[in-house]
Chains A and B, each alone.
Chain A
């Protein structure tokens, strides 16, 4: 009888653990990933050896919020890459559901907007799933923890998707500024307002 109960417990535990696929939370160490960039090269997180951190943004060509935030993303890289926090953008959208997010269209967007940072395709959507990204744009600010990177902020860029000038809370900027000043981040998590990632069926 005890054995049966134990078995029951085990089964329910397994069930629970598969029901909640673990995704990154604040303080978690990020696993290595390697994805193809729009220029054809492969980019790995471990390529970033000397940076203080990385701003990973799940983004796309097609979402109105991504389009609205595009110039702000470019500006964030321009400001923070020289300070040791470059941007990596990753497009997880299934191009069969969102043709404007094909590899060709991604490359065109990076060229048109003169991206100074990688725009990677997450073809199998595994990186987006492991991060727990749900929307575009969805930001993960990572900070260096010896040879690895730790999640320090998750969420949206600021509190006004419509107009950068009207934003009163600059979550990503504040988080990176705090890390640069070796201070605690005041808002570590927000909801990433945007379009749902177009998952493969």
Chain B
């Protein structure tokens, strides 16, 4: 009986850890992702649940995350309003997103947008790929074409 209970607990824990939720963050968290020295290539995608082209390209980022490449870290920066957190979390469950999702709760875009990239006009989807070791970065302020993400990463790896 004890064994059964133990297994029960274990599955409970496993399920809990799989059901990921968005973390509500301020700009400092995103800024740290962009600026902090890391051995990993940072792949940062800006999206929202209401943005159809964003939702369409999410599987590309999920596929990249699923490769478990130790040199690559995928972060999905969600730009829904903070009061839509429940909607974002049900979206995450529905789409079974595994890559880390951070809901950026910073409504005054003009106070931080240039720190992501000066060329960014403020529309999504947008994707930032950074190799902090070489200082190389790529910023794409539109929907990615099939296979474009892999090309960006291989360009930054060298």
Contact = CB atoms under 8 A, between A and B. Distances in A.
Contacts of A191: 109-110, 113-114, 120-122
Contacts of B114: 191
A156 B110 contact: yes
Contacts of B53: 196
B87 interface: no
Contact of A193 (B50, B51, B122): B122
Contact-residue bracket for chain B: 10 to 19
Nearest to B142: A196
B8 interface: no
A194 B123 contact: yes
B51 A195 contact: yes
Interface of B: 48, 50-51, 53, 81, 107-111, 113-114, 120-124, 142
Interface residues of A, number: 19
| B interface secondary structure, majority | loop
Contacts of A155: 110
Given A159-B107, A195-B123, A196-B121, 7 more contacts: A159-B109, A160-B107, A161-B107, A191-B114, A193-B113, A194-B123, A196-B123
A37 interface: no
Contact of B122 (A64, A168, A169, A192): A192
8 contacts: A64-B50, A135-B122, A156-B109, A159-B110, A193-B109, A193-B113, A194-B122, A196-B142
B123 A135 contact: yes
Contacts of B107: 159-162, 166
